[in-house]
Amino acid sequence: MHLVTFERRYAGVADGEPLARAPAASLGESLGFQTLDAGRPGVRRLGAVLQVGPRAGSIVDLNRAFAIKLACEDVGAPEAEADSLLPAGMQAFLRIGRRSREAAHEALEFTARALERFDGPDVAHAGVVIPRVGVRLCAPVPRPGKIIGVARNYPAHAAEQGSAAQPVEPALFLKAPTAVIGPEDEIALPAATSQVDYEGELAVVMGKTTARISAAEALESVAGYCVANDVTARDFQNVRGQKFIGKSCDTFAPLGPALVTTDEVSDPQKLVLHTIVSGETLQSGSTEEMLFSVAEIIAFAARIMTLEPGDVILTGTPSGVGQARRPQRWLRDGDVVEVEVAGLGRLRNPVRSEGPRD
Ligand code: MG
């Protein structure tokens, strides 16, 4: 599944309809439930991307789909049941565990089947299926409990950064959760730095509370994967000795577009990654180049600290960062940074300057 956190841009938009037009009658209302919360623009919801059919790319509101499925089956209190298994927040959803993931699968299958049948429930008008243009995608985990980064995890990147010796263990650092933005949001260049760099990366999203596990068990605790840009202010990181600040400015952690669940990623060490800045491909790599694998990073981190559902691990960046290029290529006002990981999708973040340098 491609799980997303989304906000509606407009209330009650059905596929193929003008955005401003609200549906005449809602299936939810006819089944006796309130539609106001689900339809309000700006309220974050848990969704999944439809992968096939004429509405491929549209977003399914999982809570609402599940409630309508239960109502069609005459299950009592369908909304309360849907709320308990498919809460709006990704971390709450992950914390519930297997039952909530099964409910998400059932909701998605119910929706796909209803769309195929001409006599099925009208899920498009029930606010279950929302066209992509009708939503703003947020980061799949908009405010992780923690973001752990791994420094110099690709040998070619470590070399271009001037590190002669390879790390003997994963070199972990923390990045502030407030830096997270969505897959299409703007990266803001703070006035306090003039050396903002991109780092395209594979991000791991934890699915379970995890401590003291072996590398062999580690991938069982992963919920899924997404694309990340570990944006970094190099002057803070290197010249001013402020590594935490260099990684943690607001907007410096674009994540998304979806949390792709592990059943759809057969091997996290075989994913091709590209970073494209204003049309020019500046990073091309594969996760098979990693010095420490996803499993080894998780096992190492979990020896020291408890990992929780929704925690994000940024697994390091391949070579080709702006600092190592000649001439150096810092992000500028008006740039567009795209990071793509095969099978996981693409981030596309415009860059804007916050104002004059100080
Ligand atoms: Mg990084």
> For residue range 48-59, what is the model confidence (pLDDT) as tens digits?
999 988 899 999
**Distance, CA 238 to ligand 1 centroid (Å)?**
14
Instruction: State the distance from the centre of ligand 1 to the C-alpha of 318, rounded, in angstroms.
Output: 9
**pLDDT at 358 exceeding the cut of 60:** no
The overall longest dimension of the chain from CA atoms, in Å, is: 68
Question: What percent of the chain lies above the pLDDT cut of 70?
Answer: 91
Whether residue 97 is predicted with pLDDT greater than 90 in this model: the reply is yes
CA of 314 to the centre of ligand 1 (A): 6
Q: What is the pTM of this model?
A: 0.92
For residue 101, the CA-to-ligand 1 centroid distance in Å is: 30
Window from 5-19, 32-46, 241-255, 289-303 with minimum mean pLDDT: 5-19
pLDDT bin (cut points 50, 70, 90) of residue 260 is: very high
Q: What is the pLDDT of residue 41?
A: 75
11: left (phi over 0), alpha (psi -120 to 50) or beta: beta
| Percentage with pLDDT > 90 across the chain | 78
> Given this model, what pLDDT does residue 238 score?
85
- Residue 239's pLDDT is 81
CA of 148 from ligand 1 middle (Å) equals 10
User: Ligand 1 centroid vs 222 CA: distance in angstroms?
Assistant: 19
Distance 206 CA to ligand 1 centre (A): 18
Ligand 1 center–CA 52 separation, angstroms: 34
**Distance from Cα 199 to the centre of ligand 1, integer Å:** 6
* Average pLDDT for 253-258: 98
pLDDT-derived band at 24 (thresholds 50, 70, 90) equals very low
- From the CA of 152, how far away is ligand 1's center (Å)? 8
Taking only the tens place, the pLDDT of each residue in 307-322 is 999 999 999 999 999 9
pLDDT value, residue 163: 75
Please give the distance, rounded to the nearest whole angstrom, from the Cα atom of residue 349 to the centre of ligand 1: 17
Determine the average pLDDT of the residues in 338-357: 92
Distance 345 CA to ligand 1 centre (A): 19
Cα of 175 vs centre of ligand 1, distance in Å, is 10
pLDDT at 90: 98
Q: Tell me, what's the pLDDT at 18?
A: 45
Higher per-residue pLDDT: 31 or 101: 101
307 alpha carbon, distance to own chain's centre: 18
How far is the centre of ligand 1, averaged over its atoms, from the C-alpha of 26 (Å)?
A: 46
How many angstroms does the Cα of residue 7 sit away from the middle of ligand 1? 28
Residue 118 burial by Cβ neighbours in a 10 Å radius (0-12, 13-18, 19+): exposed
What angle separates helix 78-85 from helix 62-72, to the nearest 10 degrees?
A: 140
pLDDT at 182 (0 to 100): 98
Q: What is the DSSP letter of 16?
A: T
Residue 127 banded pLDDT, cuts 50, 70, 90? confident
Of 278, 160, 302, which is closest to residue 221 (Cα–Cα)?
302
Helices (H) and strands (E) in the chain, counts: 11, 19
CA of 81 to the centre of ligand 1 (A): 40
Task: Report the pLDDT value the prediction gives residue 158, as an integer from 0 to 100.
Answer: 83
Task: Specify the pLDDT at position 161.
Answer: 82
Structure confidence at residue 242 (pLDDT)? 85
Q: Ligand 1 mean position to 151 CA, how many Å?
A: 6
CA of 198 to the centre of ligand 1 (A): 9
Mean pLDDT of the chain: 91
Better-predicted residue by pLDDT, 340 or 39: 340
Q: How far is the CA of 70 from the centre of ligand 1 (A)?
A: 44
CA of 289 to the centre of ligand 1 (A): 14
Write the CB contacts of 108 (distance below 8 Å, at least 6 apart in sequence): 1, 48, 50, 60, 62, 65
Confidence tier at 16 by pLDDT (50, 70, 90): very low
* Cα-to-centroid distance, 255 and ligand 1 (Å): 13
